[in-house]
Amino acid sequence: DIAPTILSYTDSSSDLQPDGVSLKPAIETNEPIDREIILAEEAHTQRRRMVLNDAKKLIHLVGGDTVCRYCDIEHAPETELYDLENDPCEQENISTEQPEVSESLRELANEKAERWNKRRPDIRDGQQMEYEDEEEVAKRLEALGYK
What are the C-alpha distances in Å from 106 to residues 66, 78, 85, 120, 136?
Answer: 17, 12, 19, 21, 34
What are the C-alpha distances in Å from 94 to residues 35, 58, 79, 86, 123?
Answer: 24, 10, 9, 11, 31
Q: What was the pLDDT predicted at 128?
A: 61
Q: What was the pLDDT predicted at 142?
A: 84
User: In this predicted model, which residue has the larger pLDDT, 75 or 115?
Assistant: 75
Q: What was the pLDDT predicted at 99?
A: 95
Q: What is the pLDDT of residues 18-59, one digit of tens each?
A: 777 889 999 999 988 887 788 888 877 788 999 998 899 999
Residue 61 is inside which H or E element, if any? strand 56-61
Q: What is the pLDDT of residues 87-131, one digit of tens each?
A: 999 999 999 999 999 999 999 988 888 877 776 656 555 556 666
Q: What was the pLDDT predicted at 42?
A: 82
How does DSSP assign 24-37, residue by residue? HHHHHH-PPPP-S-
Instruction: Give the residues across from 41 on adjacent strands.
Output: 49
How does DSSP assign 69-115, residue by residue? TTT--B-S-SEEEEETTT-TT-----TTT-HHHHHHHHHHHHHHHHH
User: In this predicted model, which residue has the larger pLDDT, 120 or 79?
Assistant: 79
Q: Is this model's pTM higher than 0.85 or not?
A: no
Q: Is the pLDDT of residue 147 over 70?
A: no
The least confident of 3-17, 19-33, 55-69 is: 3-17
